Chain A
Amino acid sequence: MSDMDRMDEEKCLIRSPRVLDLTDKNGYLCSRILADLGADVIKIEKPGGDSDRSIGPFYQSTPNRDRSLFWFAYNANKRGITLKIDSDEGKQILKTLAGKADFIIESFPPGYMNELGLGYSNLRRINPRIIYTSITPFGQTGPYKEFKASDLVVMAMSGLLYMTGRPGEAPLRISFPQSFLLAAAHAAAASMIAYFCRETTGGGQHVDVSAQECVLWEISNAIPSWNLNQKALKRAGSYMSGRWADIKQKLLWKCRDGYVVFYILSGGFGVKTNRGMVAWLQEEGLATKLLADVDWTVFDMSKQTQERQEQMEAPIAELFSRHTKAELYREALKRKIMLCPVSTPRDICENTQLRARNFWVEVDHPEIPAQIAYPGPFAKLSETPLAMAKRAPLPGEHNLEIYEKELTFSKRDLALLHQSGII
């Protein structure tokens, strides 16, 4: 390692632990997070490249396995090699790599890696310090462990789906699949717990992540509502219902060119924002006597009637309908009112707060060629800034680095492995 590398390493939160990433789309984000923290992540693809390189959207909107924006986003900051892990030679090579690795992250169906002889129980014998993380829809155990699942199925079976959508109509998911991103993000945190444990006491372990349980966190007021009050909270369209009050509180409001999120808050926390809203209404000549007379310091949503709630909401709806979401947001920032626009991707890319914080990071894609603005690190650290994004690997891009330089395979060995479809 050169002195330069060493200096860079000093500034990393975690000092280049080696991660072998065997995941598909359901796990990419896990090792992306570890890479951002400073891990040396090797994405292992099957020869020719992962099937999930075919997930859109694509650069220039043209399907191309080397230009998947999904692949770009979640595999940045990693190196990449190809390896057929279900071949005899492939297994041996993976075991060699595992001997020197700190983490293995995989998202195969439960049991698959054991069948290959590459499960945790196999690899811990080679490397007792290995942290072996498995990301699956329902976990490694239990009656559903073999179930086939997609994002929509996990969303259904974790309760978030039931809580989202209009009453009486089919529940709705978030249109960009989320459940396995949450599972992968959780898997990064859980793997870090195992890593900290290993760094302090020495041993590795198996981390068994259930996507169902990860999404379950999202409805953590619905579960105690059932347990304590035998009340199953229901979706209510764009209204809050059953949290502070049984009445419906409007969350989504139409404005001139789109929508904003706002709601009248109960209790001490809402005093300033509610007063700010009434003052704004007064300036625009829209404040009703009802609103102007409310003493927000004693306003209690649990005592509100639906009729009175709607009377209070009507002038607010009128105010919003007169303005664009940008105008409304500007005023909300000025007046410290809790209101946000319903942003489209364009709004987010143009957002001034993100720009002021230098959130976007230009990443060089010399093969395209293009500079692409990526969402920047997920946190700002004063001592060890998270890694800047390095574009995702091409299939087998780092085969030579790993197989020749590190594992000292000869050129002839490599040619043979290549010809026989192992790498």
Chain B
Amino acid sequence: MDLAEKVFEGIHIVDFGWAIAGPLSLKYLADYGATVICIESLQRPDLLRISAPFKDGVSNINRAGYFSYFAANKYSVSLDLNKDAAKEIARKLVARADIVGDSHRPGVLEKWGLDYDELSKIKPDIILIRSSNQGLTGPAAMQPGLGNHINGLGGIVNLVGMPDEEPICPMVAYTDYCIPHFAASVLIGALDYRRKTGKGQLIDLSQFEAGLQLIAPLLLDYSTNGVEAKANGNSCEYAAPHGVYRCKGEDQWCAITVFSDDEWQAMCKVMGKPEWTKNGKFSTLPGRKRNETELNHLVEQWTSQYKPEHVMMLLQNEGVAAGAVLNAQDLCNDVQLKERECFWSGDHKELGMFSYLGQPSRLSQTPAKLYRDAPSLGEHNEYICLEILGMSEDEYAQCAIEGVFGQCPDESMQKEQHSKT
């Protein structure tokens, strides 16, 4: 059966979102063929446009690799939404859109006169998804913050660290990358509902709330048993060895997890059955758990003689779950990711040959792909205004003179603008 090449062909999305969670949610639709127009600001570029890494280390809004990861397959229009003519362009784009995305703090869309009530006057069946840190209502709704803060509030930081030590606060904005999976599911559902009923709606997605789905059993454990889960290093109640072991080389590690006694016997065989493995205290899981510190020390004596990939292959060949700890360099060269074409090769105007992150799954009939490279800020102003909105060249020129698309400020002016927002 022939399916459409692009699942979301003809679906139009206006994206006011920024900084990871919002744009990543819409990446799902862009990668499967929706037309996504990012509304950006020259005065206040996306946080990721001003975040490293930059091509050649030169800081520039159009050379940001992190931003580009989320912007592939999308168009960019720059608007100064403090200006009425810019709001008018935004409204015209909304009038022909199916979905509007937003990930600003509650209050920002309201300030622009683009909240759900207003949007649904322009387009009665619009679907508006607003992903924010803590939702659109409630006493904490207006608190500004980033994913790193939700790592703390949402219980993730509490779960990283060694037992009875200070927790470790990961630098990765963990929940920012989790929430888009939930957002995309519900958004596509809303699109299907609209197709069948003609009704749009407002989706209020709190990063805090959606993130709690990922630790739900621990919340039930507290609410029913009063038990508070804590960080437990890399150990696991029902497995030993279960940890990350130092290998040969600088900062080289291998994760090893042994759940059954059979797997343990297989691991002993791989290690060449050294004398200590014959000690009865290690032969059963309860024994290995009781003597886990000693066990880990002995296992590490073995692993530290070899490279992590070698340890991994030896153990995997005998059916023991083991995996080298890979860093970004390793992942860029990883044979599995290569064979699955996990990264998409692009040819970006400023970044040159650039490797984008694709979708983590393969649809057999309608695969996601790179249709266009990430845009420069405002790259499609002219195209969208003239070709899509049917503006005349004179009108477009007038808008440009009036600063509707934003001024390209020098750095000090840019900073001044920031202070006003």
Contacts and interface: CB of A to CB of B under 8 A. Distances in A.
Partners in one complex: yes
B370 interface: no
A224 B244 contact: no
A196 B192 contact: yes
Given A152-B244, A251-B171, A344-B158, A352 B361 contact: no
A232 B244 contact: no
B1 A202 contact: yes
Contacts of A379: 182-183, 186, 203-206, 209-210
B189 A37 contact: yes
Contact of B181 (A156, A174, A185, A229): A185
A59 B223 contact: no
B3 A142 contact: no
Interface stretch (B277-285, B350-358, B380-388, B393-401): B350-358
B321 A182 contact: no
A332 B143 contact: yes
Given A13-B190, A225-B65, A370-B224, A152 B234 contact: yes
B366 interface: yes
Interface string B110-139: 000000100000000000000000111111
A368 to B, nearest CB: 9
Given A213-B360, A343-B152, A252 B167 contact: yes
Nearest to B332: A226
Nearest to B7: A197
Interface string A158-179: 1111111110101111111010
Contact of A243 (B171, B192, B208, B209): B171
Contact of B138 (A175, A196, A349, A353): A353
A218 B174 contact: yes
A212 interface: yes
Interface in B17-75: 24, 28, 32, 44, 47, 50-57, 59, 65-66, 68-70
A320 interface: no
Contacts of A254: 166
Interface stretch (A86-94, A234-242, A282-290, A415-423): A234-242
B167 A217 contact: no
A69 B236 CA distance: 17
Nearest to A259: B167
B172 A219 contact: yes
A171 B158 contact: no
Given A221-B53, A252-B169, A345-B221, A194 B213 contact: no
B137 A186 contact: no
A336 interface: yes
Interface in A60-103: 60-61, 69-70, 72-74
Given A138-B336, A190-B363, A192-B188, A251 B169 contact: yes
A244 to B, nearest CB: 6
Nearest to B19: A269
Contact of A57 (B44, B218, B336): B218
A126 interface: no
B51 A386 contact: no
A37 B185 contact: yes
Interface stretch (A143-151, A305-313, A394-402, A405-413): A143-151
Given A141-B339, A156-B253, A233-B328, A72 B363 contact: no
Interface stretch (B77-85, B86-94, B410-418): B410-418
A56 B229 CA distance: 12
A342 interface: yes
A195 B363 contact: no
A294 interface: no
Contact of B328 (A225, A239, A348): A225
Contacts of A259: 152, 157, 166-167, 169
A268 interface: yes
Nearest to B221: A57
Nearest to A73: B216
B403 interface: no
Contacts of A242: 52
A172 B233 contact: yes
Nearest to B134: A353
Contacts of A182: 177-178, 181, 214
A147 B334 CA distance: 14
Nearest to B47: A269
Interface residues of A, number: 167
A228 interface: yes
Interface in B201-232: 201-206, 208-210, 212-225, 227-232
Contacts of B364: 120, 205-208
B255 A176 contact: no
Contacts of A374: 216, 220
Contacts, number: 546
Query: Which of the listed residues B153, B156, B206, B251 has the most CB atoms from chain A within 10 Å of its own CB?
Result: B153
Contacts of B148: 240, 251, 261, 263
Contacts of B421: 268
Interface stretch (A40-48, A110-118, A354-362): A354-362
B172 A164 contact: yes
A210 B334 CA distance: 14
Contacts of B231: 175
Query: Which of the listed residues A193, A352, A372 has the most CB atoms from chain B within 10 Å of its own CB?
Result: A193
A62 to B, nearest CB: 9
Given A164-B160, A201-B4, A241-B171, A216 B342 contact: yes
Contact of A349 (B136, B219, B331, B343): B219
Contacts of A226: 327-329, 331-332
A340 interface: yes
A163 B57 CA distance: 21
A73 B223 CA distance: 13
A256 B7 CA distance: 53
A216 B356 CA distance: 12
A261 B213 contact: no
Contact of B243 (A140, A170, A239, A347): A170
Nearest to B159: A175
Given A14-B189, A224-B69, A203 B245 contact: no
A317 to B, nearest CB: 13
Interface string A17-59: 0000000000001000110011000000000000000001101
Given A156-B324, A208-B364, A228-B65, A178 B4 contact: no
A277 interface: no
Nearest to A178: B214
A291 interface: no
Given A219-B328, A243-B52, A261-B157, A208 B362 contact: yes
A362 to B, nearest CB: 10
A232 B329 contact: yes
A347 B146 CA distance: 20
Contact of B223 (A231, A239, A272, A372): A372
B363 A205 contact: yes
B243 A381 contact: no
A348 B21 CA distance: 22
Contact of A190 (B66, B322, B359): B359
8 contacts: A73-B216, A165-B168, A174-B160, A244-B52, A349-B222, A353-B135, A356-B138, A383-B199
Given A170-B243, A207-B362, A252-B168, 14 more contacts: A13-B192, A14-B189, A61-B225, A153-B323, A156-B325, A171-B244, A173-B234, A174-B174, A190-B359, A220-B66, A232-B329, A243-B171, A357-B135, A378-B213
**A-B pairs, 8 with minimum CB distance:** A268-B418, A224-B65, A261-B152, A213-B360, A383-B201, A153-B323, A185-B181, A345-B222
